[in-house]
């Protein structure tokens, strides 16, 4: 997928050593998202790690949905996740897997733990359970229901499944150690009663397993060799191992996978909390999960970020256990480098100023062709039409410019990109004194060659008003003004939304892009990289272009 060398990191070293020692003949990883929202840039890092390692070592990577929380899950989210993985360029092993595929096995494992004296049904309320649990500095205390007999626990657990009890009335807990310094090991809940319609099993179940319990068993059932997760699950690893240690001797699971943790991605100028991303959507701060300002994979795709650019970003930031704080400019730089190498160049004007060529002669004033990319001849070229009226970028003209100004000024000359040298002979203003038109003359001896006896340094982009394609341009910028918008616990993160994160303008572009399909990239020369919007762009109607990134990082670096 990439000709770049993989970056060495501790997980890669573990896998290399395991294979060399014969611990595994091949590796199996997995990507296990919960279908309760759209994936974001942090998930992209995990996708690239899990699927990338499987590719590098000729192994396999499963896509498994953790669908144990039915109230928050939907088919829309599940489908979007599959679309995202495919778009990033990866393929999962076999069919999509679901935790719900294993609901019956998970239930039987629960009964096995009860029979081993390792699980019990508890009647404590949630509030009482918190009280009994203790704190980080104080041990917990045993529930009064902890010493129920195996027979009573089996009976109650089966009646929980049969729907005899109200939601929340009882739970099944692992029987481990209420004195453990690790709170996750203080008799964690592994099943709860919850009457909720499930996207796959409907109303078949009224009890659902907890994530920590489900995840390790699912990994074992799938023969996962290396279970990779972010560092917040490090304290959960003893529970992962405990569950499998009880079940493996009973032959309830075929193997004991190993969990390894790496640091999660913290990307400046954005957020990756699903709850907060959902808040942005539901409160209509953005247009949806795929709003091009969102850090979701769907949003990045619509913005015009490329799969190869995102994969390169994941490669560059690396994998470690240390804090992974990355500035947005690193991601934008990877996208920019990818588009620099691949995107065709065309001219467009987004802040138009009218230019009238007073000595234009139809049939005499000629045209030239321009290459779409200076280093990609296979992309071809196009004719750049000219007419008596042009649009240029208003920013390329100053009435009273500084001495080092090399663009247009009264009485000055510039070269039109791929065309003639022209001279500004007259400046036309409106009643308010605003410049609305430049009247210029062409040096007809300068098509494809330099003027005689003088040097013209400035080159500006332009389009022919007669031929230009009208376009809607969406100038996207970073969604937040603060590098860490959710770091201030005294202020709501929405207070730091960037009011300039989207600006709509009407512009003009070369006619050669008229039939561009959605998700087609271009460099608009001297303006930035743009993409045809995947939803609103119509090659036969509305032409909508999103700014992907500027030509260079224009954000000021912190002092």
Supply 452's token pair.
Answer: 């005689």
Establish whether 264 is a catalytic residue: yes
The pairing of beta strand 352-357 with beta strand 389-393:
antiparallel
Cα distance between residue 64 and residue 50, in whole Å: 12
Query: How would you label 225-236 residue by residue, b for 16+ Cβ within 10 Å and e otherwise?
Result: bbbbbeeebeeb
Question: Which of these, 267, 289, 268, 269, lies nearest to 278 by C-alpha position?
Answer: 289
Catalytic residue among 146, 158, 258, 264: 264
CA angle 383, 384, 387 (to 5 degrees): 125
Catalytic residue among 170, 175, 274, 478: 274
**Helix pair 75-87, 41-56: axis angle to 10 deg:** 50
Cα distance between residue 201 and residue 189, in whole Å: 22
Residues 252/118, Cβ–Cβ less than 8 Å: no
3-state secondary structure 418-476: CCCEEEEEEEEECCCCCEEEEEEEEECCCCCCCCCCCCCCCEECEEECCCCEEEEEEEE
- 324: which strand partners? 265
- Reported residue count of the chain is 559
Establish whether 542 is a catalytic residue: no
Supply 517's token pair.
Answer: 């399909």
Alpha helices (runs of H) in 88-196, residue ranges in sequence order = 103-115, 126-133, 150-162
Residues 92/31, Cβ–Cβ less than 8 Å: yes
Would you report the helix, strand and coil content of the chain in percent, each value rounded to 5?
Answer: 30, 25, 45
- 60: which strand partners? 28
Establish whether 457 is a catalytic residue: no
Query: How would you label 37-58 residue by residue, b for 16+ Cβ within 10 Å and e otherwise?
Result: bbbbbbbbbbbbbbbbbbbebe
Task: Please report where in the chains the tokens 């319609």 appear, as a residue.
Answer: 197
Number of H helices, E strands in the chain: 12, 27
The pairing of beta strand 381-384 with beta strand 459-460:
unpaired
Cα distance between residue 132 and residue 122, in whole Å: 12
Report, as residue numbers or ranges, the catalytic residues.
34, 264, 274
């Amino acid at each position: 997928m990439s000709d770049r060398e993989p970056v060495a990191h501790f997980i890669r070293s573990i896998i290399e050593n395991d294979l060399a020692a014969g611990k595994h003949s091949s590796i199996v990883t997995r990507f296990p998202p919960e279908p309760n929202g759209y994936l974001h840039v942090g998930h992209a890092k995990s996708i690239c790690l899990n699927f990338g390692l499987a590719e590098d070592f000729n192994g396999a990577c499963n896509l498994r949905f953790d669908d144990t929380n039915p109230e928050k899950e939907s088919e829309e989210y599940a489908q979007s996740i599959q679309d995202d993985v495919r778009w990033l360029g990866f393929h999962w092993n076999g069919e999509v897997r679901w935790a719900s595929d294993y609901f019956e096995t998970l239930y039987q494992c629960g009964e096995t733990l009860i029979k081993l004296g390792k699980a019990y049904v508890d009647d404590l309320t949630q509030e009482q359970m918190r009280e009994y649990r203790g704190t980080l500095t104080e041990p917990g205390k045993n529930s009064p229901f902890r010493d129920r007999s195996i027979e009573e626990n089996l009976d109650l657990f089966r009646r929980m499944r049969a729907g005899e009890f109200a939601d929340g009335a009882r739970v099944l807990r692992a029987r481990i150690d209420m004195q453990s310094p690790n709170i996750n090991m203080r008799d964690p809940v592994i099943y709860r009663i919850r009457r909720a319609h499930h996207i796959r099993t409907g109303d078949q179940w009224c009890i659902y397993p907890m994530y920590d319990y489900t995840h390790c068993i699912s990994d074992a059932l799938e023969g996962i060799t290396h279970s990779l997760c972010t560092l917040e699950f490090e304290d959960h690893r003893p529970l992962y191992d405990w569950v499998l240690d009880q079940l493996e001797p009973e032959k309830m699971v075929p193997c004991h996978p190993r969990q390894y943790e790496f640091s999660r991605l913290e990307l400046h100028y954005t957020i990756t909390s699903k709850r907060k991303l959902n808040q942005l959507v539901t409160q209509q701060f953005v247009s949806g999960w795929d709003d091009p300002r969102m850090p979701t994979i769907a949003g990045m795709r619509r913005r015009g970020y490329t799969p190869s650019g995102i994969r390169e970003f994941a490669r560059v930031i690396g994998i470690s256990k240390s804090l992974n704080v990355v500035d947005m400019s690193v991601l934008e730089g990877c996208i920019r480098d990818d588009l620099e190498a691949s995107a065709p160049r065309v001219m467009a004007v987004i802040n138009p100023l009218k230019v009238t060529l007073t000595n234009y002669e139809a049939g005499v004033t000629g045209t030239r062709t321009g290459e779409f990319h200076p280093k990609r001849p296979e992309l071809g070229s196009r004719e750049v039409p000219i007419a008596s009226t042009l649009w240029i970028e208003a920013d390329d003209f100053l009435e009273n410019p500084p001495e080092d100004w090399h663009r247009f000024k009264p009485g000055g000359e510039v070269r039109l990109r791929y065309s003639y040298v022209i001279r500004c002979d007259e400046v036309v203003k409106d009643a308010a004194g605003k410049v609305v038109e430049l009247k210029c003359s062409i040096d007809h001896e300068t098509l494809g060659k330099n003027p005689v006896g003088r040097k013209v340094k400035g080159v500006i982009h332009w389009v022919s008003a007669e031929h230009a394609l009208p376009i809607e341009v969406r100038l996207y910028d970073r969604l937040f003004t603060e590098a860490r918008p959710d770091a201030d616990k005294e202020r709501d993160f929405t207070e730091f939304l960037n009011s300039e994160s989207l600006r709509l303008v009407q512009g003009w572009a070369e006619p050669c892009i008229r039939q561009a399909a959605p998700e087609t990239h271009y460099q608009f020369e001297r303006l930035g990289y743009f993409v045809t919007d995947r939803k609103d762009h119509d090659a036969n109607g509305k032409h909508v272009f999103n700014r992907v990134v500027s030509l260079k990082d224009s954000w000021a670096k912190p002092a």
